[in-house]
Amino acid sequence: MLEPVLRKLHLFCLTACAAVLLAGCQSPTAPVETPSITVNLSSPSITPTPTPPHYPTATQTLTPPLPTASLTPTGTPVPTICSPLEGVSLADLPVMIVNPYHPPPLGSDDPHQGIDLAQVQDGVAISGLPVQAVLDGVVVLVTADRFPYGNALLIETPLDSLPPAWLEGLDLPEAPATPQVRSALTCPTPQAPLTGDSQGRSLYLLYAHMRDAPSISPGDSISCGQALGEIGASGNALNPHLHLEARLGPGGAAFSGMAHYDPSASPDEMASYCRWRVSGDFLSFDPLQLFYAFP
The 10s digit of each residue's pLDDT in 133-189 is 999 999 999 999 999 999 999 999 999 999 888 888 888 887 677 877 777 788 887
Residue 42 domain-assigned? no
AA letter at 90: L
- Collect all residues with Cβ–Cβ distance below 8 Å to 55 and sequence separation of at least 6: none
pLDDT of residue 224: 96
Cα gap 173→210, rounded to integer Å: 28
Q: What is the DSSP letter of 11?
A: H
Evaluate if residue 196 carries a pLDDT over 70.
no
**How far apart, in Å, are the Cα atoms of 6 and each of 10, 15, 61?**
6, 14, 101
Asked, as a colleague might, if the bond just before 100 is cis with ω within 30 of 0, I would say no
Alpha helices in the chain (DSSP H): 2-25, 164-168, 267-277, 288-293
CA–CA distance, 122 with 99 (Å, rounded to integer): 18
In a domain, 237, yes or no: yes
> Which helix (H) or strand (E) is 252 found in, with range?
strand 242-254
**Domain total in the chain:** 1
**Which position has the higher pLDDT, 146 or 55?**
146
- 185 versus 8: the higher-pLDDT residue is 185
Nearest to 241 by CA among 81, 109, 85, 111: 85
Least Cα distance to 233 among 258, 212, 259 occurs for 212
Query: Would you say the C-alpha torsion 221, 226, 230, 231 has a positive or negative sign?
Result: positive
Most confident of 59-63, 99-103, 253-257: 99-103
DSSP 112: B
Task: List beta partners, residue 283.
Answer: 248
Residue 90 CA to residue 92 CA, distance in Å, equals 5
CATH number of the structural domain spanning residue 226? 2.70.70.10
CB atoms within 10 A of CB 31: 6
- The Cα–Cα gap between 203 and 219 comes to 16
Helices (H) and strands (E) in the chain, counts: 4, 12
Give a yes or no: residue 275 inside a domain. Answer: yes
Q: What are phi and psi of 12, to 5 degrees?
A: -65, -40
200 within some domain? yes
Position 99 in a domain = yes
Domain membership of residue 19 (yes or no) is no
Provide the whole-model pTM: 0.72
Cis peptide before 53 (omega within 30 of 0): no
Asked whether residue 103 is assigned to any structural domain, the reply reads yes
If one compares 195 and 63, the residue with the highest pLDDT of the two is: 195
Q: Are 143 and 258 in contact (CB under 8 A)?
A: yes
Is the model more confident about 162 or about 25?
162
Query: What domain range includes position 287?
Result: 90-293
Kindly state whether residue 60 falls inside one of the protein's structural domains: no
DSSP state of 161: G
Nearest by Cα to 273 from 211, 197, 181, 185 = 185
Contact 138, 220 (CB under 8 A): yes
